[in-house]
């Protein structure tokens, strides 16, 4: 019985470490891509699960939080640049897809999100 409990605890610990390292890898990739950005500062990402009433599976997406370094006069070009930077990174997109993400959104404040299509 003691061996079974130890095996279960070890399994849970490995899952936690694997999940954290995956999340750390994603965060590091975003930090790397946007560390030299002059107009925005990458803050963090958040994983969101959205489920419509008619959809039983829902969609999992990332919301990338950015802080404008200067006042954003043109949001669309900034969002386009961020999305293009992410979507050009094929290994990152593959990892996100493997982890079940179906959408990436960019946010500069708590009220507005802009989808990468």
- Give residue-wise pLDDT tens across range 25-57: 888 989 988 888 778 889 999 998 877 666 677
108, 70 Cβ separation under 8 angstroms: no
Report the pLDDT value the prediction gives residue 117, as an integer from 0 to 100: 72
Region 95-116: mean pLDDT is: 90
Counting every residue written for the chain, the total comes to: 117
pTM (two decimals): 0.71
The span from the CA of 7 to the CA of 24, in Å, is 26
* Exposed e or buried b per residue across 36-71, where buried means at least 16 C-beta atoms within 10 angstroms of its C-beta: eeebbebeebeeeeeeeeeeeeeebbbbbbbeeeee
Report the pLDDT value the prediction gives residue 45, as an integer from 0 to 100: 92
């Amino acid at each position: 019985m003691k061996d079974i409990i130890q095996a279960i605890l070890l399994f849970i610990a490995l899952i936690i470490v694997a999940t954290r390292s995956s999340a750390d890898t994603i965060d590091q990739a975003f930090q790397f891509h946007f560390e030299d950005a002059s107009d925005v500062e990458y803050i963090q990402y958040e994983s969101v699960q959205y489920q419509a009433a008619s959809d039983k599976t829902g969609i999992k997406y990332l919301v990338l939080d950015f802080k404008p370094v200067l006042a954003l006069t043109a949001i669309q070009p900034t969002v386009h640049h961020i999305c293009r930077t992410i979507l050009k990174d094929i290994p990152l997109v593959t990892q996100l897809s493997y982890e079940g993400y179906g959408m990436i959104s960019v946010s500069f404040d708590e009220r507005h999100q802009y989808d990468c299509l």
